[in-house]
Amino acid sequence: MISEKVVKAINEQINMEYASAYIYLNMSIEMDDQAFRGYAKWLFAQYEEELEHAEKFLGFLQTRGAVPVLKDIEVPALEAKTPLDVAKAAYAHEMKVSASIDRIAELASKEGDRASNAFLMWFVNEQVEEEESTRDIVDMFEFAGDDKAVLFEIDRRLGEREED
């Protein structure tokens, strides 16, 4: 049995994943506007990945016999302007998501809900990758500084991201 508490927490996570999708889409639009087409493409792929995360949580609730409840998705104003600022904001956001998933896993453990815990472990591992990939981009743009040739090369490389 899945407890009401876990259902509520996962419902909130569904909203957080859709909100993440919007955040990345917003970042992608901004980077495209600044002609960082490669990074814009990377961010768009991330947007699609966040949609998949939301759907995974949603499907899990349904599998457990619970009914997902959709909530409004917030679109916070994008304060990050440069690619480095965007990268830093993305990394900070992923750490927030990791903390949120850890909290749900902890709650599921407390509730003795092993099925939810096993399901959540996929996300725990996924977040390790998300933190790494977003942190790597911060490092790259930090390294580039104002060097246009290096920025161009990084952008080109980010554009090579495979759809996963």
Question: x/- contact string, 11-50, with Fe ion (CB under 5 A)?
Answer: ------x--------------------------------x
Q: What's the min distance (Å) between Cβ of 9 and Fe ion?
A: 15
Complete DSSP assignment for 2-63: --HHHHHHHHHHHHHHHHHHHHHHHHHHHHHHTT-HHHHHHHHHHHHHHHHHHHHHHHHHHH
Q: Residue 41 or 53: which CB sits closer to Fe ion?
A: 53
For helices 83-110 and 4-33, give the axis angle rounded to 10 degrees: 170
CA distance 80 to 25: 13
- Integer Cα distance of 47 and 22 in angstroms: 7
Least Å distance, CB 150 to Fe ion, is 29
The span of 2-10, 34-42, 51-59, 98-106 binding Fe ion (CB under 5 A) equals: 51-59
Q: What is the largest CA-CA distance in the chain?
A: 56
* Rounded least distance, CB 101 to Fe ion, Å: 8
93 binds Fe ion (CB under 5 A): no
Q: Are 25 and 54 in contact (CB under 8 A)?
A: no
CB of 38 to Fe ion, least distance (A): 21
Select 108 or 154, whichever has its Cβ closest to Fe ion: 108
Under the criterion CB under 5 A, does residue 53 sit at the interface with Fe ion?
yes
Residue closest to Fe ion when measured from CB atoms:
53
Note the residues at the interface with Fe ion (CB under 5 A).
Answer: 17, 50, 53
